[in-house]
């Protein structure tokens, strides 16, 4: 993404903030919608559009779990492993998905590049534990290992979204 595209997104909301620095996070999230992660060019574009250095922008971006500074799979699948989900079988879901996607028990990206599996801390869907989130847009549950695998298969087969909100 280039600085003009970022500017087009943040100029209409500039007046909502007393300091331009507040635009960095909205700009980063918007820049990420293009490829699903942030490249050096993206960081530079956000820096240029907001008036901060790319190094500063990167220092902000690196703080947040849901801003990705390296490529991910086409879809990011977050499996909640916090206590409420654990009590309802999150570990069994996690183990099964990691095995099926051929990634280590720390998570990772499947060989076909379609799916990144990652552990998530409490997603706020404990009433549907164990829950899984596809990017940041869709959270569902409760899952069994089998239904979780079917959910991931459906994501793998589905066309990618126009914008990646993760």
Binding site residues, another protein, CB under 8 A = 13, 16-26, 28-29, 50, 59-60, 63-67, 78, 81-84, 86-92, 120-130, 133, 135-144, 147, 151, 165-166
When the beta carbons of 2 and 59 are compared against another protein, the nearer one is 59
Shortest spacing between CB 56 and another protein, in angstroms: 9
Asked if residue 94 lies in contact with residue 100, where contact means CB atoms within 8 angstroms, the answer is no
Residue with tokens 């989900």: 85
Shortest spacing between CB 111 and another protein, in angstroms: 26
CA–CA separation, 139 and 122 (whole Å): 12
When the beta carbons of 56 and 108 are compared against another protein, the nearer one is 56
CA 75 remoteness from chain centre? 8
Q: Closest Cα to residue 33, out of 79, 63, 77, 1?
A: 1
When the beta carbons of 74 and 131 are compared against another protein, the nearer one is 131
CA–CA separation, 86 and 142 (whole Å): 12
When the beta carbons of 67 and 74 are compared against another protein, the nearer one is 67
Shortest spacing between CB 52 and another protein, in angstroms: 8
Shortest spacing between CB 40 and another protein, in angstroms: 19
Q: What proportions of the chain, in percent to the nearest 5, are helix, strand and coil?
A: 50, 10, 40
């Amino acid at each position: 993404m280039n600085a003009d595209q970022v500017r087009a997104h943040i100029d209409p909301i500039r007046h909502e903030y007393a300091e331009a620095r507040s635009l960095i996070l909205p700009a980063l999230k918007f820049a990420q919608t293009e490829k699903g992660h942030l490249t050096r060019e993206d960081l530079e574009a956000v820096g240029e559009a907001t008036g901060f250095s790319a190094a500063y922008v990167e220092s902000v971006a690196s703080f947040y779990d849901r801003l990705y500074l390296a490529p991910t799979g086409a879809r990011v699948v977050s499996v909640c492993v916090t206590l409420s989900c654990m009590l309802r079988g999150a570990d069994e879901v996690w183990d099964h998905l990691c095995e099926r996607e051929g990634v280590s028990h720390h998570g990772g990206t499947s060989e076909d590049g379609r799916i990144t599996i990652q552990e998530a801390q409490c997603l706020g869907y404990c009433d549907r534990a164990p829950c899984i989130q596809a990017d940041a847009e869709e959270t569902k549950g409760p899952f069994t290992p089998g239904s979780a695998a079917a959910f991931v298969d459906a994501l793998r087969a589905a066309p990618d979204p126009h914008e990646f909100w993760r």
